């Protein structure tokens, strides 16, 4: 999972569109067209031209401030970023309010100007109120929450450990008491965030209302080229398409865990104990695949072991990811990528290890920030992050307001679409494995994929469902934790390993909550990546089972993909989707096709079990 910091996405977070200038300079620089001229189509175009001129020149320093804070967390770097964020937020709110002044003549504007004005209005993830000091307060709260998470450590077996340490132990431990201690320890870092998070919600809602939205959730849902209420229904429609497969997977995995641990640890019915699933948030279950692998049908590939046996290090993993994109015709990464990225965790300082892809100057200074380990998971993550970087570079020639993914799910889906092409055939081509497993191993391969791809879907949906309820006031501050676990039980069918109460703030133990990163993009990305992947395989003329397709080396596929990426945000996402896939609707039927053999097999394995929770 990732943030994708660049000029557009910094505006989305209230983090990046300007920077470096004093508050006085920002006030002086802000376009005044809408205030001093009549509200006409001509003045709207003039306003947009002024805004884009400012955006072209004001993004880089803010991006650098954010990069320095993320890769060198100190009180000073936090202070610098918070001040920059404050100024950017004030400027972005000013832009948004001026853009709203043209609403009355929207039907008289050309499509490009109308679209850019809308993008300005929805550009802030956390809009600050216009009153004096509010932008600074919001920036301080945002930076404090992010840094509290990133510096989080807890005691485990007499030693202070980080989330990275805990995640590695959790992925490999099969001791229920140890897993419970790790889960409880990490979640203990979150309660101090609760009060500041509630303040942040109040301030951001106040800002959203000043822009004409009901609340921040309404603003977020407005970024998908459809009415906000329709978008919420669209996510429910997509979930209904994949829910039956998830329920079969849940039932099978719960049965395997019960067989391993017994009724006292994991019952045969009801929710799954979250810490037993090998991931701190039970969002992906791939690390426990060995516990559930079908006898005689396991995938036969331990990718982590193979990478280590082939002397992969973090740099070689990133070079391999680059080579995939080069094979389909994309230009190599710039030399500055290799000299400026954070590929491994630095010694002796606090950093944000959460993987992300960065576009510093909206041209060629693209980077990744990772604390890469030689694991199958990070091998996939490398391809994912590079997908962001290649997308960022593809739309660099668009005007400033059109530099972004067609929607945020597109941006997340591109690298994952490539990662789906990491098939046994591909691994053999690059020398990681010596021979492909035969078709008798396909159920194992599909199950291993589903443990990550399908297991994630309900979590990808519920994170923002929780936030939408918080922003709307449906969930009050005193019910944060209860509402979180109701949704996790409803959608994921998981439960905490120990009793939880409102003394806890378990949402804060997931980076995207204190990091204020919208999460629905990841749910959409899991749908879109399969839709894109099937389109790529069709373009490549693939005739076999969908899950065996790799388009590695196919420059025809790459050329069509590049054409879609280059359009950025200049067109509504259904136009971009149609250009690449031939349909204007997001659709999960490619997931159904990909996993069809597994779903049939799971249903057979689950006969006689009481599925559901």
Considering the candidates 118, 187, 250, 384, report the single residue annotated as catalytic. 384
Considering the candidates 412, 426, 525, 588, report the single residue annotated as catalytic. 412
Structural contact between residues 91 and 28, judged by C-beta atoms closer than 8 angstroms: no
Considering the candidates 197, 289, 395, 522, report the single residue annotated as catalytic. 522
Annotation marks residue 118 as catalytic: no
Phi and psi angles of residue 356, each rounded to the nearest 5 degrees, phi first: -155, 160
- The C-alpha angle 168, 169, 172, rounded to 5 degrees, equals 90
Annotation marks residue 385 as catalytic: yes
Phi and psi angles of residue 2, each rounded to the nearest 5 degrees, phi first: -155, 155
Q: The tokens 């259904």 sit on which residue? A: 574
Structural contact between residues 563 and 579, judged by C-beta atoms closer than 8 angstroms: yes
Annotation marks residue 496 as catalytic: no
Considering the candidates 128, 134, 355, 495, report the single residue annotated as catalytic. 355
Alpha carbons within 13 angstroms on the beta-carbon side of residue 61 total: 16
Considering the candidates 118, 388, 411, 547, report the single residue annotated as catalytic. 388
Find the helix packing angle between 75-100 and 134-150, rounded to 10°: 130
Structural contact between residues 253 and 285, judged by C-beta atoms closer than 8 angstroms: yes
Instruction: Point out which residues pair with 357 in neighbouring strands.
Output: 368
**195 token code pair:** 């009060």
Residues whose CB falls within 8 Å of the CB of residue 505, separated by 6 or more in sequence, listed in order: 190, 191, 193, 194, 197, 480, 481
Annotation marks residue 522 as catalytic: yes
Torsion sign across C-alpha atoms 222, 228, 232, 233? negative
CA 203 to chain centre: 24
Annotation marks residue 206 as catalytic: no
Annotation marks residue 412 as catalytic: yes
Considering the candidates 50, 206, 248, 385, report the single residue annotated as catalytic. 385
Considering the candidates 118, 250, 354, 547, report the single residue annotated as catalytic. 354
Residues whose CB falls within 8 Å of the CB of residue 338, separated by 6 or more in sequence, listed in order: none
| Alpha carbon separation from 463 to 28, 50, 443, 517, 572 (Å, rounded) | 39, 37, 30, 10, 25
**440 token code pair:** 């008798």
Catalytic residue numbers, as ranges: 354-355, 384-385, 388, 412, 512, 522
């Amino acid at each position: 999972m990732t943030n994708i910091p660049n000029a557009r996405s910094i505006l989305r977070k209230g983090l990046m569109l300007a920077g470096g200038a004093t508050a006085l300079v920002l006030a002086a620089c802000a376009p005044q067209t809408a205030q001093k001229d009549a509200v006409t189509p001509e003045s709207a175009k003039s306003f947009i031209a002024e805004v884009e001129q400012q955006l072209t020149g004001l993004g880089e320093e803010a991006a650098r401030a954010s990069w320095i804070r993320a890769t060198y967390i100190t009180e000073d770097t936090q202070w610098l970023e918070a001040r920059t964020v404050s100024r950017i937020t004030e400027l972005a709110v000013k832009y948004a309010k001026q853009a709203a002044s043209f609403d009355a003549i929207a039907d008289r504007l050309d499509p490009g100007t109308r679209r850019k004005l809308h993008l300005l209005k929805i550009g802030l993830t956390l809009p600050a109120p216009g009153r004096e000091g509010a932008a600074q307060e919001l920036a301080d709260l945002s930076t404090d929450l992010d840094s509290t998470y990133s510096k989080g450590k807890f005691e485990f077996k007499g030693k202070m450990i980080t989330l990275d340490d805990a995640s590695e132990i959790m992925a490999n431990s099969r001791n229920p008491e140890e897993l419970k201690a790790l889960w409880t320890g990490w979640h203990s870092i979150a309660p101090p965030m609760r009060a500041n998070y509630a303040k942040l919600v109040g301030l951001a809602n106040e800002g959203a209302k000043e822009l004409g939205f009901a609340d921040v959730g309404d603003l977020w849902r407005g970024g998908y080229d459809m009415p906000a209420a329709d978008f919420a229904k669209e996510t429910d429609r997509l979930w209904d398409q994949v829910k039956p497969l998830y329920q079969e997977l849940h039932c099978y995995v719960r049965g395997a865990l019960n067989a391993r641990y017994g009724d006292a640890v994991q019952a045969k019915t009801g929710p799954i104990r979250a810490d037993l699933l090998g991931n701190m948030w039970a969002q992906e279950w791939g690390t426990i695949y060995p516990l559930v692998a079908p006898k005689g049908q396991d995938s036969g590939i331990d990718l982590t072991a193979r990478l280590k046996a082939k002397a992969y290090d973090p740099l070689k993993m990133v070079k391999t990811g680059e080579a995939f994109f080069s094979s389909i015709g994309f230009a190599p990464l710039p030399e500055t990528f290799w000299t400026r990225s954070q590929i491994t965790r630095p010694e002796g300082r606090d950093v944000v290890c959460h993987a992300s892809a960065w576009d510093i100057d909206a041209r060629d200074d693209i980077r990744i920030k990772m604390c890469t380990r030689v694991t199958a998971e990070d091998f996939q993550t490398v391809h994912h992050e590079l997908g962001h970087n290649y997308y960022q570079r593809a739309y660099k020639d668009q005007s400033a307001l059109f530099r972004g993914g067609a929607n945020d799910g597109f941006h997340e889906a591109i690298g994952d679409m490539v990662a789906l092409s990491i098939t046994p055939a591909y691994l053999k081509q690059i020398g990681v494995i010596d021979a492909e497993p035969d078709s008798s191993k396909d159920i194992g391969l599909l199950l291993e994929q589903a443990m990550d791809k399908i297991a994630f879907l309900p979590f990808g949906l519920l994170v923002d469902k929780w936030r939408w309820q918080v922003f709307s006031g449906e969930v009050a501050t005193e019910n944060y934790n209860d509402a979180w676990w109701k949704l996790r039980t409803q959608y994921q069918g998981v439960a905490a390993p120990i009793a939880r109460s409102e003394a806890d703030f378990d949402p804060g133990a997931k980076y995207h909550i204190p990091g204020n990163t919208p999460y629905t993009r990841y749910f959409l990305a899991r749908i879109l990546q399969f839709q894109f992947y099937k389109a790529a395989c069709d373009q490549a003329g693939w005739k076999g089972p969908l899950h065996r397709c790799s388009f590695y080396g196919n420059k025809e596929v790459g050329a069509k993909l590049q054409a879609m990426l280059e359009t950025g945000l200049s067109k509504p996402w259904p136009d971009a989707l149609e250009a690449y896939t031939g349909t204007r609707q997001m659709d999960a039927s490619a997931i159904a096709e990909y996993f069809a053999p597994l779903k049939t097999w799971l249903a057979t394995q689950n006969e006689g079990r009481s599925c559901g929770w």
